[in-house]
């Protein structure tokens, strides 16, 4: 795109959005050059900050008219480079669309704009006795629009499910620039489940401009324990025993010794000294159920070699237990100048084997790996440590990180459980799926975005040619007029 083209597009966008809502100054643009995965940086040609759905749609239409790609961005906390800008494109930032439009406890729904912060939904619902269940660790800063794009999870999705299970309605701007409603406040909307297809599509099928979410009744009782084990083997066995007992905990989280020491250094969470692994187990629900099962969980941890079990006596103690876990990624910065946060999934029962293999790779390559994971559903977050100032270490860390993903695939798992494919993992998609699988997924892409302008280069390693681009049908189709085709 030439400078003249950019200037023309900027002028067009300013006319619609207002001067202050379009950024074209190079220095200001640099603020947006990366998301939460800072190793990829691209300065966008323009940044647009729509304040309403209609503005967002107009921005997309301007991009379509100019043949310019666009990338949506919420709070920019994504960890797969999904919101990495396009050098010749417009970055559409939804952070100024942050109204909570409605909290409707009697419908168990809230209607929010995409820039609303995840935790704010829960804060708005709590006075009514409800909350928003998906809780990514970044919930204090990440946006609902971003959660929709990434199908974000969190520690509590073991019991409650992911974003996709908690979004019932969307208003989206399609890659044609049309505003379309998918789903609604009631369940089982007739037609294809385009809502289900849209959630987790990483900005490649359009931009959500309004989100209707499910609210969940606050549980009567929450009980949390921290159990220390000699190693991850015993902690893994305890996890298996809990699941086998038919308990569905709200969360089971595991950290290994290196992750514990990092958390300790960063936030002084007071985890038992010398533990080879800790488990955090949380149960919630009706008090009578939680009490009955909590005793079982304590016993199962004990039977599987727990050296110490601490039960949170109140909310403050529970918060301290969670503080170590939720700050674990950032905490690793205390013990290593640089690190890669990996996100892979394995069948939970493969945990001991996979952890052994990760330890072998780590030892062989001389690269330290700290392990933090959602043990209940086999979602691993290995943290691969390195020092970028030492020649070759970054590349080595990348190799170890990639080898861990290969382990996940080899064990029938996934290359991402919650961070998304984005820019970072598009190259791994062919290892998990066949060409036919990827081609079939892209049929959906072609239906939504035949021009390939919505977040190009993400998710799929190679774009599919969509064939004929359907025109924006505004009148009667010529074939229909001629009586040759039936339009339904």
Q: How far is the CB of 25 from other proteins (least distance, A)?
A: 35
Q: Which is nearer to other proteins, 24 or 221 (CB)?
A: 221
Residues 147-176 that bind other proteins (CB under 8 A): 150-151, 153, 157, 161-162, 164-165, 174
Find the angle CA(113)-CA(116)-CA(120) to the nearest 5 degrees. Answer: 130
Q: Which is nearer to other proteins, 318 or 445 (CB)?
A: 445
DSSP tag of 181? E
DSSP secondary structure, 65-97, as one string: HHT--EEEESSS--SSSTT---TTSEEEE-TT-
Q: Which residues pair with 423 in a beta bridge?
A: none
**By CB under 8 A, residue 327 contacts other proteins:** no
**By CB under 8 A, residue 330 contacts other proteins:** no
**x/- letters, 118..137, toward other proteins (CB under 8 A):** -----------x--------
Distance separating alpha carbons of residues 57 and 207, to the nearest angstrom: 9
**By CB under 8 A, residue 488 contacts other proteins:** yes
Using DSSP's 3-state secondary structure scheme, residue 401 falls into: helix
**By CB under 8 A, residue 289 contacts other proteins:** yes
Q: According to CB under 8 A, which one of 421, 423, 453, 454 is a site residue for other proteins?
A: 421
Binding-site size, other proteins (CB under 8 A): 92
Q: How far is the CB of 247 from other proteins (least distance, A)?
A: 8
Neighbours of 168 (CB within 10 A): 21
Residues 95-114 that bind other proteins (CB under 8 A): 104, 106-109
Burial class (CB in 10 A: 0-12, 13-18, 19+), 418: buried
Neighbours of 314 (CB within 10 A): 7
Q: How far is the CB of 27 from other proteins (least distance, A)?
A: 34
Residues 452-481 that bind other proteins (CB under 8 A): 459, 470, 473
Q: According to CB under 8 A, which one of 338, 432, 456, 463 is a site residue for other proteins?
A: 432
Distance separating alpha carbons of residues 425 and 402, to the nearest angstrom: 9
Q: Which is nearer to other proteins, 274 or 412 (CB)?
A: 412
**By CB under 8 A, residue 209 contacts other proteins:** no
**By CB under 8 A, residue 440 contacts other proteins:** yes
Q: How far is the CB of 376 from other proteins (least distance, A)?
A: 9
Distance separating alpha carbons of residues 341 and 386, to the nearest angstrom: 11
Q: According to CB under 8 A, which one of 146, 177, 382, 413 is a site residue for other proteins?
A: 413
Contact segment (CB under 8 A) with other proteins among 55-63, 267-275, 327-335, 420-428 equals 420-428
Residues 332-391 that bind other proteins (CB under 8 A): 345-349, 374, 377-379
Residues 227-246 that bind other proteins (CB under 8 A): 240, 243-244, 246
For residues 255 and 328, the answer to whether their CB atoms sit within 8 Å is yes
DSSP tag of 256? E
Q: How far is the CB of 370 from other proteins (least distance, A)?
A: 20
Which of 216, 178, 204, 208 is CA-nearest to residue 112?
208
Q: According to CB under 8 A, which one of 41, 317, 441, 456 is a site residue for other proteins?
A: 441
**By CB under 8 A, residue 415 contacts other proteins:** yes
Q: How far is the CB of 378 from other proteins (least distance, A)?
A: 6
Q: Which is nearer to other proteins, 111 or 367 (CB)?
A: 111
Q: According to CB under 8 A, which one of 127, 190, 478, 483 is a site residue for other proteins?
A: 190
In our burial notation (b when 16+ CB lie closer than 10 A, e otherwise), range 44-66 reads bbbbbbbbebebbbbbbbbbbeb
Q: How far is the CB of 329 from other proteins (least distance, A)?
A: 17
Q: Which is nearer to other proteins, 44 or 200 (CB)?
A: 200
| Cβ neighbours of residue 225 closer than 8 Å, sequence gap 6 or more | 280, 281, 282, 294, 297, 298, 301, 309, 310, 311, 312, 321
Segment 445-451 long-range contacts (CB within 8 Å, at least 24 positions apart)? 445/204, 445/205, 448/174, 448/175, 448/204, 448/205, 448/206, 449/174, 449/175, 449/204, 449/205, 449/206, 451/64, 451/67, 451/175
Q: Which ranges of 251-366 would DSSP assign to H, the alpha helix?
A: 257-267, 287-303, 315-326, 328-331, 351-365
């Amino acid at each position: 795109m030439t400078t003249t083209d950019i200037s023309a597009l900027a002028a067009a966008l300013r006319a619609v959005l207002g001067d202050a809502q379009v950024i074209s100054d190079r220095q200001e643009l640099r603020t947006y050059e990366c998301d939460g995965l800072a190793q990829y940086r691209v300065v966008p040609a323009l940044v647009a900050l729509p304040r309403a759905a209609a503005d967002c749609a107009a921005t997309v239409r301007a991009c379509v008219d100019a043949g310019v790609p666009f990338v949506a961005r919420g709070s920019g906390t994504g960890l797969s480079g999904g919101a990495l800008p396009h050098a010749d494109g417009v970055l559409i930032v939804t952070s100024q669309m942050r109204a909570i439009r409605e909290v409707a406890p009697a419908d168990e729904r809230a209607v929010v704009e995409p820039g609303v912060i995840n935790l704010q939904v829960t804060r708005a619902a709590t006075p009514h006795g409800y909350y928003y269940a998906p809780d990514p660790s970044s919930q204090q800063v990440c946006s609902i629009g971003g959660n929709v794009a990434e199908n974000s999870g969190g520690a509590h999705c073991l019991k409650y499910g992911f974003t996709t299970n908690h979004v019932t309605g969307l208003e989206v701007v399609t890659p044609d620039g049309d505003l379309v409603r998918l789903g609604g406040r009631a369940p089982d909307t007739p037609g294809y489940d385009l809502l289900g297809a849209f959630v987790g599509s990483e900005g490649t099928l359009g931009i959500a401009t309004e989100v209707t979410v499910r609210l969940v009744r606050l549980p009567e009782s929450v009980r949390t324990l921290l159990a220390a084990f000699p190693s991850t083997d015993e902690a893994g066995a305890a996890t298996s025993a809990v699941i086998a007992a038919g308990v569905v905990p709200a969360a089971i989280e595991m950290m290994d010794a290196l992750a514990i020491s990092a958390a300790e250094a960063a936030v002084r969470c007071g985890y038992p000294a010398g533990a080879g692994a800790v488990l955090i187990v949380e149960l919630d629900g009706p008090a009578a159920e939680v009490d009955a099962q909590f005793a079982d969980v304590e016993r199962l941890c004990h039977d599987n070699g727990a050296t110490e079990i601490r039960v949170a006596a109140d909310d403050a103690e529970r918060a301290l237990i969670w503080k170590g876990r939720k700050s674990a990624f950032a905490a690793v910065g205390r013990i290593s100048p640089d690190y890669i946060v990996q996100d892979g999934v394995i069948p939970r029962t493969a945990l001991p084997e996979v952890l052994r293999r990760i330890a072998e790779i780590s030892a062989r390559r001389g690269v330290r790996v700290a392990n933090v994971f959602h043990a209940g559903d086999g979602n691993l977050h290995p943290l691969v440590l390195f020092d970028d100032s030492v020649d070759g270490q970054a590349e080595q860390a990348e190799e170890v990180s990639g080898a861990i993903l290969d382990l996940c695939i080899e064990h029938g798992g996934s290359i991402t459980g919650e961070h998304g494919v984005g820019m970072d993992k598009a190259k791994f998609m062919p290892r998990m799926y066949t060409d036919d699988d990827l081609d079939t997924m892209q049929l959906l892409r072609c239906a939504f975005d035949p021009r390939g302008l919505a977040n190009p280069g993400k998710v799929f390693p190679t774009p599919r040619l969509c064939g004929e681009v359907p025109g924006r049908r505004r009148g009667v189709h010529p074939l229909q007029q001629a009586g040759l085709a039936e339009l339904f």
